[in-house]
Amino acid sequence: MPRKKNALCQSCAAQSIDVAKAKPCWHSQTCRAKRSYYKHRAVNIAKKRTRQRSARVDEVDFPLLGYTEPPEVAMAFYRDRADGPIHAIEFWVTEHGAVVKRVKPKHLKGVPQRQLRSHIKQVIALLQAEFGDALLVSEARQPVAMCPICAQEREAHG
């Protein structure tokens, strides 16, 4: 059960800060926090109720008639080991489960993080220009063991 409101602190919160500091019960850190709490209490309770109500709402998703899913961009980050740095990156666009376009993998050894992010944004922007802005970007990063560039080099030399 919640604690009862302190009537003295609630009335003090309605007064100016100078009047509150002059009172004998004033404690710097505690009173500042309580004043803020009591001043914004009504708004905070309203926000809390809104969050609770929105959590209770059941959403139903109906597909639009004649609507087709937009293409999706998938990214594969190749690593030498599971916790290691990114070795290479590859993109491909799928539509209805079939690969429509594939972007050649790029080696990233020694590439700074900022440049990697910039490369990802540029590739996605180019793909969106080609397939439209409705292009979805997959959040699932697919773990792949062997880099296709290194595999081709091994086959050529082996």
Q: Cα–Cα–Cα angle for 100, 104, 107, nearest 5°?
A: 150
pTM confidence score: 0.52
For 91-124, the pLDDT digits (tens) are 889 888 888 898 888 888 788 889 989 999 999 9
More confident residue, 36 or 58: 36
* C-alpha span between 158 and 140 (Å, rounded): 33
* C-alpha span between 70 and 134 (Å, rounded): 6
User: Mean of the per-residue pLDDT values for the chain?
Assistant: 82
Is 70 exceeded by the pLDDT of residue 18?
Answer: yes
Residue whose tokens read 């020694």: 110
Mean pLDDT (whole number) for 43-51: 88
pLDDT of residue 37: 87
Q: What percent of the chain has a predicted confidence (pLDDT) above 90?
A: 8
pLDDT of residue 69: 78
Give 89: exposed, middle or buried? Use CB within 10 Å, 0-12, 13-18, 19+: buried
Least confident of 23-27, 57-61, 74-78, 147-151: 57-61
For 51-103, the pLDDT digits (tens) are 887 777 666 777 667 667 788 888 888 877 777 777 888 888 988 888 889 88
- Sorted by where each begins, the domain ranges of the chain are 7-56, 72-157
Is 60 exceeded by the pLDDT of residue 8?
Answer: yes
